[in-house]
């Protein structure tokens, strides 16, 4: 997965993720750590957030997360792979950068966060033929 993540490009599908991040009007809580963040802007180059720490020994600041790292992680999630800290480390972001990728993608509907070990997964909900509510499917089941 690491090689796929390094060569990822911004796709039209990922544009919808960026659009969703732009709609987040309320402060977001990362799935790990303390504090919160607001998305200031999201474009095809970067997503910039304002981090508001919960601890007195930290300083509020802007954090820029490269869009290439986000899209690489998103593409992995879309292919059914889990995105964990090891995969994110391959992007060269370091632990803090990887945590920001996880924190942002955790805001997307359908993304599940596993804390031990820290990882993301995403599954599209699909209707199987057995769940098909059309009259033909009901007749076939009866």
* Residue spans per domain, the chain: 2-141
Write the pLDDT tens digit of every residue in 70-128. Answer: 999 999 899 888 898 888 888 778 888 899 999 999 999 999 998 888 889 987 654 34
In this predicted structure, the answer to whether residue 131 has a pLDDT above a threshold of 60 is no
Q: Which helix or strand (DSSP H or E) is residue 14 part of?
A: helix 12-23
* Sheet of 36-42, strands arranged across: 36-42, 46-52, 61-66
Place of tokens 């060569």: 7
In this predicted structure, the answer to whether residue 142 has a pLDDT above a threshold of 60 is no
Write the pLDDT tens digit of every residue in 24-75. Answer: 999 999 888 889 999 999 999 999 999 999 888 889 999 999 999 999 999 9
pLDDT at position 4, please? Answer: 42
In this predicted structure, the answer to whether residue 2 has a pLDDT above a threshold of 80 is no
Q: What size, in residues, is the chain?
A: 142
Q: What is the pTM of this model?
A: 0.77
The DSSP result for 53-79, as a single string, is -SSTTS--EEEEEEHHHHHHHHHHHHT
| Long-range contact pairs involving 128-133 (C-beta distance under 8 Å, separation at least 24) | none
């Amino acid at each position: 997965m690491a090689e796929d993540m390094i060569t990822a490009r911004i796709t039209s599908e990922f544009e919808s993720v960026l659009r969703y991040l732009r709609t987040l009007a309320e402060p977001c809580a990362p799935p790990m750590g303390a504090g919160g963040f607001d998305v200031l802007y999201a474009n095809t180059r970067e997503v910039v957030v304002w981090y508001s720490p919960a601890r007195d020994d930290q300083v509020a600041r802007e954090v820029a997360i490269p869009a290439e790292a986000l899209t690489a992680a998103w593409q992995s999630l879309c292919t059914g792979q889990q995105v964990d800290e090891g995969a994110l480390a391959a992007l060269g972001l370091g632990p803090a950068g990887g945590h920001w990728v996880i924190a942002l993608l955790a805001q997307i509907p359908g993304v599940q966060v596993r804390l031990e070990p820290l990882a993301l997964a995403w599954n599209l909900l699909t209707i199987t033929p057995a769940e098909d509510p059309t009259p033909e499917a009901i007749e076939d089941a009866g």
